[in-house]
Chains A and B, each alone.
Chain A
Amino acid sequence: MNSLIQYTLRIADSSLILGQRMSQWCSNGPTLEEDIAMSNIALDLFGQANGFYEYAAQLDGSRSADELAFKRNEREFFNHQLSEQENGNFGTTTVRNFLHDAFNFLFYTELASSKDETLAALSAKSLKEVKYHLRHSSNWLIRLGDGTQESNMKVQESLNFLWQYTGELFEMDEIDNEMLDEGAGVDNNKLRKGWDEIINSTIEKAKLTRPVDGYMANGSKKGIHTEHLGFLLAEMQFLPRAYPDAKW
C-alpha cells in the first residue's frame, strides 16, 4: 500500500474510532446539554473520518470509504491507541479527549499547509471543529480537576492511566518520514512543544499533576492495539458485515 493511502487511513481511523467512542455516550450523557455536545462531537469526528476515507478510497481505487471503515479487521486499523480507550466515567472521557484534541489541534494546524491539496483542505476544515472540541474538553477538565475532591481524584486517576498512550502520538515511522520529506506530512516530534504547553497550562488551571513519563505503549502504526479495539469494531461493524447489502 502506498504511503499516502496509509497516512490518510491513520488520520481517518483515529477520527472514526474516537467518534465511535463518543457516540456511545449518546443517551447516556450526565446532562442533556452534555449528551447533545458529545453526540455533536461524535458527528464532527465521523464527518472528518468520512472525508479522509473518501480520499483514501479514491487513491486506493478498489475499496469504498464504507468498506474501509467496516470491512477491515483490528490489525488493519491504524488509529492511535489513545482513541480506542474505553469511555470509563465522564472524567475518563474528558481526559482522553483532551489529550487527543490538543494533539489534533496542532496536527491539523500543520497539515493544513500540506503540499497535498486534499489533505490540506480536509485539515483546514477539521481544524475549525477541533478548536471547539479542545475548548470543550479543556473547560471540563478544569471544572472537574478544580471541582470536588472526588472529581479531582477521578480525573487525576484517568490522567495517570491514559498518560502511557500519549507517547505514540509523537512517533515517526518510515511512512511519516516519507510524507514529511515530500512536504505532505507533519513532523510529529515538532508538535511536542506546543502540546506540552497546552497540557501543562490546562493541568495547572485544573489543579492536577502532570504524570511522570514512564512506560509508553505503541504499535498502532503497525496495527497493534489494546484489547478494547476488537470489541469496539465487533459492535461497530456487526451490521454491515452480517447484512452486506443493508441500506438505511
Chain B
Amino acid sequence: MQNGNTAHIWKLLNTIPDPEIPAISIVELGVIRDVTFSDKSYTILITPTYSGCPAVKTFTDDIKECLKENGVRNFKLKLIYSPAWTTDWMTDKTKEKLRKYGIAPPSNTVRCPQCNSKNVEILSEFGATACKSMCRCSNCLEPFEFFKCI
C-alpha cells in the first residue's frame, strides 16, 4: 500500500463524490490536478473551481478521510491556482452524468436537461452554487440549473 501506487490513489479519489453535485466525483469535476509520489509520500494537487467555493473545504476533508480509511497516511494536499480550473476539463461522459442528474452541462448551447430543447431562458447568472446559473425551459416549462462555462 505504501509503495507509491499513484493509480491506486486516483482510484480512491474517484470514489469521492462532489459535495454539491454527488452525481459526479471530484476527479470527474477536474479539481484533482495531479498525484505524485516522492520521499515516501504522496502529494495531491488540488485546484478550486471558484475561488470562494465552500465545497473546497469539504472535499479536502473528504479526501483526508477517504485516504485514512483506506490505510494511506503518508500524503499531503497542496492547493494550486494555475492553470485556473475550467469546465473544458470535463469529459463528455461526465457531462452526460450531469445531464442525467438534471443539470445542463457546460456548453455554448444551453439545452434543457429534460426535453433537450434549445428554447431556454436564463433567469439568473447566479444559482444555488457558484458554478451554476438558473434557467427555465420555454418548451417544457421546467426550471433547471446550468453549469456555467468558465
Contact with B along A119-133 (1 / 0, CB 8 A): 011101110110010
A138 vs B121: C-alpha distance when bound (angstroms): 19
Q: B54 at interface (Cβ–Cβ under 8 A)? A: yes
In the complex the two chains form, what is the Cα distance from A136 to B51 in whole Å?
Answer: 18
CB interface residues, A 108-152, toward B, < 8 Å: 117-118, 120-122, 124-126, 128-129, 132, 135-136
Return the CB mask of B58-83 against A: 1 if under 8 Å, else 0. Answer: 00000000000000000000001111
Given known contacts A33-B134, A121-B84, A124-B84, is B127 in contact with A47 (CB within 8 Å)? no
Near B by CB (< 8 A), chain A positions 26-84 give 33-34, 36-37, 40-48, 50-51
A residues within 8 A CB of B126? 33, 36-37, 40-41, 132, 136
Query: Does B53 lie at the interface of the complex (its beta carbon under 8 Å from any beta carbon of A)?
Result: yes
Residue pairs across A and B with CB atoms within 8 Å: the count is 70
Q: Bin the interface of chain B by size.
A: 20 to 34
The CA-CA distance from A118 to B15 in the complex, in Å, is: 31
Residues of A at the B interface (CB closer than 8 Å) are 33-34, 36-37, 40-48, 50-51, 117-118, 120-122, 124-126, 128-129, 132, 135-136
Q: B-side interface residues toward A, CB under 8 Å?
A: 48, 50-54, 80-85, 123-128, 130, 134, 148, 150
